[in-house]
Amino acid sequence: MSDRRHLANAIRALSMDAVQKAKSGHPGAPMGMADIAEVLWRDYLKHNPNNPHWADRDRFVLSNGHGSMLIYSLLHLSGYDLSIDDLKQFRQLHSKTPGHPEYGYTPGIETTTGPLGQGIANAIGMALAEKVLAAQFNREGHQIINHHTYAFLGDGCLMEGISHEACSLAGTLGLGKLIAFYDDNGISIDGEVEGWFTDDTAKRFESYNWHVIRDVDGHDAGAISDAIEQAQANQDQPTLIICKTVIGFGSPNKQGKESCHGAPLGDDEITATREKLGWNYGPFEIPADVYQQWSAKDRGDAVEASWNKRWVAYEQEFPQLAAELKRRLNGELPTDFEQQVVDYAKRLQANPDNPATRKASLNALNEFGPKLGELLGGSADLAGSNLTLWDGAKGIDANDASGNYVYYGVREFAMSAIMNGITLHGGFKAYGATFLMFMEYARNAVRMAALMKQPAIFVYTHDSIGLGEDGPTHQPVEQLANLRLTPNLNCWRPCDAVETAVAWGAAIQSTTTPSALVFSRQGMPQQQRDEQQLQNIAKGGYVLKDCEGTPELIAIATGSEVDIAVQAAAKLTEQGHKVRVVSMPSTDVFEQQSAEYREQVLPAAVSKRIAIEAGIADYWYKYVGLNGAVVGMTTFGESAPAAELYQHFNITVENTVAQANALLG
């Protein structure tokens, strides 16, 4: 047996032992890809276990994240802070080795993977971030940003639609430092994939403008090494290395079969596998010489030290560039940015205008964009409707990546997952836009941003039946509630230009929470506010109009319905009622405020409440109570001009007044 195979067998042994101890997991993929991983991680991957966040490290993504014991074994053997006891706690509560790789749980994990196809899309985002950052900051003789992104993926990733979207764009953008390894083992959970997956994957990726290396023996270290060097030599195209492997390699009775895909091998089969592999050690036992050959600590320290020397030279020759790059890599905003947001909101309040909030969003980008080199935006083929193409936007293409704007094409899901990869890479504030309705195509990537605590900014326009004639296929109804119900996601639906500016400021300043900025197609009248109300917008909900003394009724609204609430309150006041209007641009942020503040805005003693929003009505009963009233949607929309639709669905001042009077008795 070769020494390399012996080192790869350490991965196989740890993987089958951990899955067996947990009585749950996927041993087949780690055992099948162990030889590929050994060559990549020991000979080519540029990383430092002593500093997992070193800026110029190569990124590694296990897109087929169900095979998580592969990456846990690699991290442990290489010297990351992941002990053998951590491996023994595989899939257990609060362990550093959850069932799928989770960003933030384990040092060296670059992204959460498991929802198949999203890992390769994240990797594409990382490779894009590297290319753009290098184009913006590298100078002749100073390749300060220069690393690869490697991804492992399987049949499941390639069958998921997102891989078609994302990989197509990667080829168009010429991401030459992206190298993906396809684990072509012919097996998925249901058995041999030839019954449901007969794509010519090589031709597919060649049509995407990828460099494809076919028929590599995934158990031959020399063939794997040759393929990696061919891939690294091509700086103009991303590379797909198609590796022929045997799932569960080494298992006498289960290798090559679906029985080793998603279930433990069993004690007897593990014993037989140890014998076949010549691995004469007990469970979780790794000999000292294997650890010594696997450790990347000294090599990692050396490669980072070399980069640090280059950084000093770069900093001396280009001090301003170096300071800006350092600021961005550290995720720091310009020191006066928070005040800039406040000042801009004050200027808008002093100079009223009534634009659609999508136009107000563009104005905010034009205000903040010149001050923020880290903004990396885009739209899913709707820039003219989403209004994300601000004055300083410069498109990125295969030949010039120095810009700050990505034309994503009609790829909402890929765009959102790529944004997550950009954000995870560091150095950027990523935003991307589509219609609110088509958030549904990207839903799982939005959820992953929230799960990973990545502050991507999802811009959604055409936010309600107010988009009009395009009809119910394009009119969102339940989407706002969907976003608001997602943990760790701040959804903003501003009512005018001032609230829009504050929402953008909050999204840009967020560090651990993604934001959904939801904007209107139609114009919005600007509301009057004093200075205290201006300050309170950032709290997510605030008293916009008040009465003397204790209110009899509270009207709560967002977005285009805030003005309906204000007009209805004026009519109710004329009738002699005491009414408070609360603008609630972000329920998520409002709920993060102190109990005292929330009580000030929505005093518990005022039980008569009405909510007005052109979205699904059910969401609002948490604020108005079961005996309150909601003026909203209970069905899908219709095709007609916006004004007619508001009348048809009774989202009007008149209906609000009538519903309020019914509550008031």
- Token pair, residue 372, equals 């923020």
Reference 334, options 508, 512, 517, 537; nearest CA is 508
Question: Model confidence over 273-296: pLDDT tens digits?
Answer: 999 999 999 999 999 999 999 999
Q: Where are the alpha helices (DSSP H) in 144-187?
A: 155-159, 161-172
- Establish whether 385 is an annotated binding residue: yes
Question: Model confidence over 379-406: pLDDT tens digits?
Answer: 999 999 999 999 999 999 999 999 999 9
Give the pLDDT of residue 2.
72
- pLDDT-derived band of residue 53, with 50, 70 and 90 as boundaries? very high
- pLDDT-derived band of residue 1, with 50, 70 and 90 as boundaries? low
- Establish whether 427 is an annotated binding residue: no
Question: Model confidence over 22-44: pLDDT tens digits?
Answer: 999 999 999 999 999 999 999 99
Reference 442, options 420, 466, 474; nearest CA is 420
Give the pLDDT of residue 455.
98
Using CA atoms, how far apart are residues 607 and 542, in angstroms rounded to an integer?
A: 17
- Establish whether 26 is an annotated binding residue: yes
Q: What is the mean pLDDT of residues 109-124?
A: 98
622 has pLDDT over 80: yes
CB count, 10 Å around CB of 226?
Answer: 13
% of the chain with per-residue pLDDT over 90: 99
Residue-by-residue DSSP string for 93-149: TT-SS-SS--TTTSTT--S---STTHHHHHHHHHHHHHHHHHHHH-BTTB--S---E
Reference 528, options 578, 558, 562, 568; nearest CA is 562
- Establish whether 99 is an annotated binding residue: no
Q: What is the mean pLDDT of residues 1-20?
A: 94
Whether the Cβ atoms of residue 391 and residue 404 lie closer than 8 Å to each other? no
Contacts for 373 with CB less than 8 Å, ≥ 6 apart:
136, 324, 328, 404
Q: Is 556 helix (H, G, I), strand (E, B) or coil?
A: strand
Catalytic residue among 258, 304, 412, 561: 412
User: Could you say which DSSP state residue 181 is in?
Assistant: E
Give the pLDDT of residue 380.
98
Give the pLDDT of residue 379.
98
Using CA atoms, how far apart are residues 210 and 127, in angstroms rounded to an integer?
A: 14
Question: Model confidence over 465-474: pLDDT tens digits?
Answer: 999 999 999 9
Using CA atoms, how far apart are residues 30 and 66, in angstroms rounded to an integer?
A: 9
CB count, 10 Å around CB of 484?
Answer: 19
Q: What is Dmax (Cα atoms) for the chain?
A: 91
- Establish whether 139 is an annotated binding residue: no
Where does residue 471 fall: left (phi above 0), alpha (psi -120 to 50 degrees), or beta otherwise?
left
Question: Model confidence over 555-596: pLDDT tens digits?
Answer: 999 999 999 999 999 999 999 999 999 999 999 999 999 999
Question: Model confidence over 433-467: pLDDT tens digits?
Answer: 999 999 999 999 999 999 999 999 999 999 999 99
- Establish whether 470 is an annotated binding residue: yes
- pLDDT-derived band of residue 235, with 50, 70 and 90 as boundaries? very high
477 has pLDDT over 60: yes
- Establish whether 86 is an annotated binding residue: no
* Catalytic status, residue 412: yes
- Token pair, residue 93, equals 């509560």
Using CA atoms, how far apart are residues 659 and 203, in angstroms rounded to an integer?
A: 62
117 has pLDDT over 90: yes
Give the pLDDT of residue 492.
98
Contacts for 349 with CB less than 8 Å, ≥ 6 apart:
498, 526, 529, 534
Identity of the residue numbered 403: G
- Establish whether 66 is an annotated binding residue: yes
Q: What is the mean pLDDT of residues 336-340?
A: 96
